[in-house]
């Protein structure tokens, strides 16, 4: 089923970044190349529970077309749980529309982080605020597709 900007799917999120469990939340699953929002589902392995944890996130792509996402957590001083999960286990599953893709997370650093952050803020100026209020480094994460095992 093709999704359009008017369509969304209700997705049961087992546990989100704020500790809410068992909630239903509408998530639009289409990509920015078709004029929609670049929203996707990311399933990580909980670092404490070992259980799958799914969150909805936005993304853009790097120069090579590989998805990147940002762990701003709205400028809070702590990292979101999904980022902590990826720091512990970099393997995850990214879902756009009906397509699930195994990915490996890579945290950008140094000059690559700085140049990517500049591109992000140019495209989405609201991202500048979390950097100034978080009082921490904001992680930028590249999600590279990995072969099925």
Residue 117 lies in a domain: yes
Please give the tally of structural domains in the chain.
1
Find the CATH number of the domain harbouring 131: 2.30.110.10
Does the pLDDT of residue 134 top 80, yes or no?
no
Does the pLDDT of residue 6 top 50, yes or no?
no
Sign for the CA dihedral angle at 95, 96, 98, 102 comes to negative
Residue 3 lies in a domain: no
φ/ψ of 43, rounded to 5, equals -110, 120
What confidence score (pLDDT) does residue 131 get? 67
Residue 2 lies in a domain: no
Residue 116 lies in a domain: yes
Cα torsion through 104, 107, 110, 112, rounded to 10: 50
Residue 40 lies in a domain: yes
Domain that holds residue 83: 9-145
What confidence score (pLDDT) does residue 23 get? 44
Residue 49 lies in a domain: yes
What confidence score (pLDDT) does residue 104 get? 97
Cβ–Cβ under 8 Å, residues 9 and 56: no
Mean pLDDT to the nearest integer, 66-77 = 84
Residue 53 lies in a domain: yes
CA atoms within 13 A on the CB side of 81: 22
Does the pLDDT of residue 61 top 60, yes or no?
yes
Confidence grade of residue 1 (pLDDT, cut at 50, 70, 90) = very low
Residue 86 lies in a domain: yes
Please report, for residues 12, 44, 64, 78, 132, the alpha-carbon distance to residue 56 in angstroms, rounded to integers and kept in the order given: 11, 11, 23, 18, 24
Confidence grade of residue 10 (pLDDT, cut at 50, 70, 90) = very low
Considering the chain, what is the average pLDDT of its residues? Answer: 77
Reported as a single tens digit per residue, the pLDDT across 12-44 is 444 445 554 444 444 444 444 444 347 889 999
Does the pLDDT of residue 127 top 70, yes or no?
yes
């Amino acid at each position: 089923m093709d999704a359009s900007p008017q369509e969304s799917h209700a997705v049961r999120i087992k546990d989100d970044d704020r500790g809410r469990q068992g909630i239903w939340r509408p998530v639009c699953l289409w990509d920015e190349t078709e004029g929609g929002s670049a929203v996707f589902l990311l399933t990580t392995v909980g670092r404490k529970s070992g259980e799958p944890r799914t969150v909805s996130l936005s993304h853009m792509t790097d120069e090579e077309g590989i998805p990147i996402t940002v762990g701003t957590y709205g400028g809070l001083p702590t990292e979101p749980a999904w980022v902590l999960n990826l720091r512990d286990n970099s393997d995850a599953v990214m879902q756009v529309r009906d397509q699930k893709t195994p990915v490996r997370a890579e945290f950008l650093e140094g000059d690559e982080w700085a140049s990517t952050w500049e591109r992000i803020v140019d495209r989405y100026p609201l991202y500048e605020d979390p950097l100034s209020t978080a009082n921490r480094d904001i992680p930028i994460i590249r999600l590279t597709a990995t072969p099925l095992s």
